[in-house]
Amino acid sequence: MIAGAELLPVLTSEKPASTNPANEVARELTGRDYVSWSALSTFRTCPLNYKFRYVDGLPEESVSSALVFGTGIHTAVEQHFQAQLAGDTKPDLDALLFAYRSEWLPHDPDAIQFGSKETRETLDDLAARMLTAFLVSDQARVSGRVLGVEEEIRGMLVEGVPDLYGRVDLLTEDSDTLMVTDIKTSRGK
């Protein structure tokens, strides 16, 4: 043992325990001590689907192409902002497209449900156009300092309801202003 090591602080990665008693009810039902926006949205749309997914934990037989597409775009944008956070050279379009395409790899192509006029090729073309537009947009140029990318947020919004958990895409600071940016790829709402 190193002399004096017992005097060093012990660092743990555990998050502080929430004092919200509703979190335990959520943990008992779903195994999670929080709710997410996607869980709430699923419940609002179809309570039975919520039960199958979040309470029963049934595996989904297919995955929506929109989910894979959105995840790919988010991964590419995250890579762009991570480079800014690290002070590195910003990735070019090819690097962003590589990040986007990498999100398709873990999925069985036969299990991806495409929209009526969608194919992998049409979505790849759309991704290229979106990422090209992103790179020349004001959204890609952060004024101020990047504080975090894909940061977790969690807290009690309503008493008696489990903590709401989510992630924000970008936290920046400009002068005395803290800005939160959340990128959306959905066509609706």
Q: If you write DSSP's letter for every residue of 105-129 in order, what string do you get?
A: TTS-GGGEE--TT--HHHHHHHHHH
Q: Judge contact between 142 and 82, C-beta under 8 A.
A: no
- Does this model's pTM top 0.95? no
- Distance separating alpha carbons of residues 50 and 59, to the nearest angstrom: 12
φ and ψ at 120, to 5 degrees? -60, -40
Alpha-carbon distance of 66 to 156, in angstroms, equals 30
Both tokens of 70, joined, read 């959105």
Q: How much is the pLDDT for 72? A: 96
- d(CA 127, CA 150) in angstroms, rounded, equals 20
Please give the pLDDT value at position 2.
Answer: 47
24-77 confidence digits (pLDDT tens): 998 988 888 999 888 888 899 999 998 998 889 898 889 999 999 999 999 999
Please, what is the Cα angle at 108 between 104 and 109, to 5 degrees?
75
User: How far is the C-alpha of 156 from the C-alpha of 138, rounded, in Å?
Assistant: 33
Dihedrals φ, ψ of 162, to 5°?
-55, 160
Distance between CA atoms of residues 16 and 23, nearest Å: 13
The beta strands (E) that lie in 4-89 are given as: 35-36, 63-64
The DSSP symbol for 185 reads -
pLDDT of 120: 95
Pick out the chain residues at pLDDT < 70: 1-18, 187-189
